[in-house]
Structure 1
Amino acid sequence: MKLLTNIITLAVLIMLGIMSQSTAAKGALSEEGFAEYVVNLKTEAIANGFSEALVNKSFAKVTFHKRAVKADRSQPENIETLDTYLPKRVPKWKVDKARALYKEHQVLLNQIGEQYQVQPRFIVALWGLETNFGQYTGGYNVISALATLAYEGRRETFFKKQLMAALTILAEGHISNDNMKGSWAGAMGQNQFMPTSFLSYAVDGDGDGKKDIWQNQADVFASMANYLRKVGWDDEFTWGRQVKLPENFDYNLAIPKNTGNRQNWLKAWAKTEKTLAQWQALGVRRSDGTNLPSVDIKAALVLPDDKNGRVYLAYDNYKSLMHWNLSYYFVSSVGHLSDHIKFPPIK
C-alpha cells in the first residue's frame, strides 16, 4: 500500500513538473496565469504532505506582486567602491544607534553570546545592516512573494523550495500567515532569513515554544548567533583587518574578485590562505604601516575592488559572514560596524 502511495505521489509531482512550465515561461505574466499557477502550487504542496486545510488557509489571500518581479529583474549593478559604499552603509548615526542598542540589550546579548560563543557586537552589526535594527523588515506576505517569484520562472526551483519551507514554518506554528511578512524576495523578520535558513538556523531563544524572528528579540539574537556558530564562527578572533601591500606585490596571492559562486570562492580561499607570519614576510602590514599581530592564525587576502582599492586580511570568521551573504561589501560593512561598536574601535 505504501509503495502504491509513493508511486501515485511521484506521478502527481511529475505531472506538476510538466504543468509548472507556466504562463510566465511561455509568455507575458498575467493575473490569470498566476491564478492558474497557484492552483498547481497548492496541489503540489498537498502532494508533498501538507494538509489541505493549511494549504488553503496559507494561500487564501495570495496575490500577484508585480513589484517583486520588477525588483528581482532590476537588481542594481555594482557601481560603488568600498570608499563610497561604507560611509553610506555605516554612517555615524548608525554607529551611535548600534552602541546605544548594544547597551540597552546588553544582558540578553551577553547571555546569548556566551551560549553560542559569538561576540555580541557582530549580532548587533548584522541586525543593524539587515533591517536597521528591526525597523525595516519588509511588508510583503511571504507566501505571496515566493509564489510570485516562482511563477515568474527564472528561478522557479529555488523559490518553490522556499515556498515549501515557508509552509513548514506555518505548519509548525511559529507565526501566522497574516504576520509572516518579509522582503519582496521572501527574506523574513529582523534578521532576514529565507525560509530554508529559518528551518536550518532559527532557534527558540526564550523557551516559549516558538521561533519568532519577527517580534521576539531573544529569538532574533539567538537565531543570528546560532547561524554564525553553525557555519564555523570562532569567538576567539575577529573578522579581519584592513592592510597595506608592498610595492610590486604579487596579486596572484589574493582571492580573485569574481569567483562565480560560494564553492569556487572557498576553493580560492583554501589555495591562497597563509599564516600571519607568512603574510608579514611577504611585506603585508597593518593599514597604519605597523607589523601584523603575532598570532598563530591563518588569513586570506581579499580585494573587494581593484588593486587600487582597499585590501583586507580575512580570518575564518570572514568566511562565516560570506556564508550569510556572499558579498565583499556586505561583509566589510558588518566588520566595520562591529569594530565601531567595540569601544575603543579596533586598530
Structure 2
Amino acid sequence: MFTRHYISALVLGTVLSGCASHANTAPATPGATAAAKSTAENATVTVKPNPAELADFNAWKTGFRAKALTKGIKAAVFDRAFDGVTLSQQVIKLDGSQAEFTRQIWDYLDTATSSTRVSTGREKAQALASTLKAIEARYQVDAKVILSVWGMETNYGSYRGNTSTIAGLATLAFEGRRRDFAEQQLLAALQILQSGDITPERMKGSWAGAMGHTQFMPTSYLEYAQDFTGDGKRDIWSDDPTDALASTAAYLKRFGWQHNAPWGVEVSLPKGFDYANADQNNRQPVSTWRAQGVTTITGQPLPDFGDAAILVPAGAHGPTFAIFNNFRVIRRYNNATSYAMAVGHLADKIAGGGEFVAKWPRAERALSRNEKIELQRQLTARGFDTQGADGVIGPNTISAIRGYQQSRNQVADGYASASLLEQLR
C-alpha cells in the first residue's frame, strides 16, 4: 500500500481509485466504505471496447511487455498474468467519475464508526486475540488501531475487491491519465507474481490496484508486506487476515507509530483563541497549548504525548482536538483528515470509548463542488483572493475565509460552510 513521497503510493492509489483507504478512497469521500466500494465495482457496464480501442490496447500491451522484460519480468510470468486481460470499461468509468457532493465530516464518521462496525471490531478482537497480541508485541502498534484500519479498508475483510489487479492497472496505464503511476504499480504487481506469493487468478482487489484485507498497493506490498504466519508467502489475500494485519502494523511502525499513545484528544479552547493557530502543520509543545489555556474537554490538563496541533474539522462550532504524532502516521496510510479521524475514533470505540462530547453543527449542509467554486469566486471578488477557483478548500481558501471573517468581526475559523456562502451572495 505505500511508498513515500508527499502522498504515499498507497494514498495515491486511494486518490486514483474509489475504494477504501490509501489505495482506495474516492477523492471526495476518503475512506469509502466497503459497501460503497462493492456497489461501485459491481455496477454493470454494458459498453464494450470497440475494435479500434482493443487494437490500441493490444499495441500498448505489446510495448509494455517489452518494457517489463527489460525490468526483469520473465516472459512466461508476463504472458500468464495477461492471459485473457482486456480493456475494462468499468475501470475507465470509475476512474473518470467525480462526486459532485461530499459528505460532512460527522456524516462520514457516523458511517465509519457505526455501532455495527464497532461491534464487529470487538468480535474480531476476541476471535483473533492471540494473533493480535503477537502482532502488537512484535511491531509495537496498538491492536485496536490495526483492527480499525482493517474495518475501514474492507469492513474486516468482508469486501476486499473483485477486480483483477493486472486488468485494472493495465486499463489505467493504457488510459494514460496517470500512466506513470499505473505502470509503476503494474510492474510491481508482476514482481509479486514472479516471487510466487500469489497467482494471477487470486490477485484481486479494488479497481485501482489496492489489494487484500487492508488494501496495499503493489509497490507498498513489495516494501512492507509481512509473512507473519511463517508459511513462506506474504499472503494478504487469504481468508486468514494474519499476514495483512501484520503488514499494516509494519507499515505504521515504519512511519513512527508511538505505542500506547493516542491519535488525539478532544479539547476545549479558551475564549478568544486565535483560530489561525488551528492548523495541522502548526505543531507546538503541549506546554505552549497549556499556556494558552487549552485543556481537555473535561477541563483537565492537556496530556503530553509530544508536539501537538489543534484540529477544528467543523470550524468553531464543532468538536476540537489536539492531535499528536499518531494522527500524522495514520495520514501516511491515507492522506485524508476524515480518514485519520475515523481510524482513531473507531479504534477508541472498539476499545470501549464513547462519542465526542461536543456536538457537531449538524444543521450545516455540505457544499457541492460548484458551490465551493462559487464561494472562492465570491471571496476573490471581495478582495480576499483564493488564488483560483477549483472547488478545493485548501490553505489559500481557508486564509481568504479568515480574512473575510475578520473583516466582519466574526470568529476567524476559516471554515467553508453553506451559511458563509449565503452571507457572500
C-alpha separation in 1, matches of 2:148 and 2:88:
31
Relative to structure 1, the CA distance from residue 322 to residue 205 in structure 2 (aligned partners, 3 Å threshold; closer, same or farther) is same
SS of equivalent to 2:313: coil
Deviation per CA, 1:195-239, whole angstroms, max 9, x where unpaired?
A: 011011101011111000011322011101101001110103111
Aligned length: 305
Aligned with residue 341 of structure 2, among 329, 332, 337: 332
Partner of 1:137: 160
Alignment gaps of 5+ in structure 2: 1-50, 357-425
- Please give the TM-score of this superposition, normalised by the length of structure 2: 0.69
Distance, in Å, in 1 between the alignment partners of 2:262 and 2:125 is: 18
Alignment-derived partner of residue 271 in structure 2: 247
The aligned counterpart of 1:313 is: 322
- Is contact 2:261–2:305 with CA below 8 Å preserved after alignment? no
| Match in the other structure for 1:227 | 251
1:44-79 Cα deviation digits (max 9, x unpaired): 111212111111111112121111111112132562
Q: Does the 8 Å CA contact 2:295/2:302 hold for their aligned counterparts?
A: no
Matched residue of 1:235: which SS? Answer: coil
**8 A Cα contact 1:280 1:291, kept in partner:** no
8 A contact 1:301–1:313 mirrored in 2: yes
State the shift of 1:244 in Å: 2.7
Match of 1:208 in 2: 231
Amino acid at match of 2:339: F
Alignment partner, residue 293 of structure 2: 283
- Equivalent in 118, 128, 133 of residue 95 of structure 1: 118
Greater helix fraction, Structure 1 or Structure 2? 1
Tell me, yes or no, if the aligned pair for 1:29 and 1:152 is still in contact at 8 Å: no
The reply on whether 1:81 has 2:90 as its aligned counterpart is no
Could you tell me which residue of structure 1 aligns to residue 262 of structure 2?
238
* Paired residue secondary structure (1:163): helix
Asked if the contact 1:68–1:148 (Cα under 8 Å) also holds between the matched residues in 2, the reply is yes
Contact 1:277 1:294 in 2 (8 A): no
TM-superposed CA distance for 1:184, in Å, is 0.6
Q: 1:29 to 1:105 in 2, by over 3 A?
A: farther
Unpaired runs of at least 5, structure 1: 1-27, 256-267
Indicate conservation of the 8 Å contact 2:165/2:206, yes or no.
yes
> For the residues of structure 2 that align with 1:75 and 1:105, how far apart are their CA atoms?
38
C-alpha RMSD of the superposition: 1.9
2:311, 2:202 → 1: CA distance? 40
- After TM superposition, the score normalised by the length of structure 1 is 0.83
Counterpart for residue 283 of structure 2: 273
Q: Which residue identity does 1:277 align to in structure 2?
A: S
- Distance in structure 1 (CA, Å) of the matches to 2:345 and 2:173: 36
Verify the 8 A CA contact 2:165 2:209 in the aligned structure 1. yes
AA in 2 matched with 1:300: A
Question: CA contact under 8 A between 1:165 and 1:199: conserved in structure 2?
Answer: yes
Cα 1:296/1:141, change in 2 over 3 Å: closer
| Cα distance, 1:345–1:54 mapped onto 2, change above 3 Å | same
Query: Is the contact between residue 274 and residue 298 of structure 1 (CA under 8 Å) also seen in structure 2?
Result: yes
1:275–1:296: 8 Å Cα contact kept in structure 2? no
